[in-house]
Amino acid sequence: MLKGFRDFVLRGNVVDLAVGIIIGAAFTSVVNSLVSDLLTPLIAAIFGKQDFSALYFTWNGSKFRYGNFVNAVLSFLIVAAVVYFLVVIPVDKLLQRFLPSKVDAPKRDCPQCLSTIPAAASRCAFCTAEVPPVPDHPVMR
């Protein structure tokens, strides 16, 4: 029982996930600091307030603190942009470079069940009916 737990914990995916969560938490504090210490005062200067997070409006005696919400939205957008530009795009380019690209094989419809099958197929994968060969297909030549 403990051996199974040890194997689970030491799996690469679990360790990678734990490292990702820890780095994400640290990165979130950096982004929150960037938003609250640099961007918020810049935006607050436009509205004429010293502390953007303290912005609010009152309606029927209720206080709506929209400044904190704007801080949270800015933090989210910055995190999303950094993840997209510094993680997603480079990983996509890396995968395109090192993984072979899949060329879409020509397709045709099965005459029996009308499912889409590869043009070079001699039997339908869905209904298992024998399918006549396509005369122009390069594999059939």
Tell me: the pLDDT tens digits for 93-119? 888 887 766 666 788 899 889 899 888
**Domain boundaries along the sequence of the chain:** 2-98, 104-141
**CA separation, residue 111 to residues 105, 121, 137 (Å):** 19, 12, 17
**CA separation, residue 62 to residues 5, 34, 56, 59, 65 (Å):** 52, 30, 10, 5, 10
Instruction: Measure the CA dihedral 99/104/105/108, to 10°.
Output: 150
Reading the chain (141 residues) residue by residue, the pLDDT tens digits are 778 877 776 666 777 788 788 888 888 888 778 777 887 777 767 777 656 677 788 999 998 888 888 777 877 887 788 778 887 898 888 888 877 666 667 888 998 898 998 888 889 988 988 998 876 655 544
Per-residue pLDDT, 60: 92
Per-residue pLDDT, 140: 46
Per-residue pLDDT, 54: 74
Show the CA angle centred on residue 109, arms to residues 104 and 113, nearest 5°: 135
Per-residue pLDDT, 141: 45
**CATH ID of 2-98, from 1.10.1200.120, 1.10.132.20, 3.40.50.620, 3.40.50.1970:** 1.10.1200.120
Q: Which long-range contacts (CB under 8 A, 24 or more apart) does 2-8 make?
A: none
Per-residue pLDDT, 9: 67
| 13 membership: H or E segment, kind and range | helix 12-34
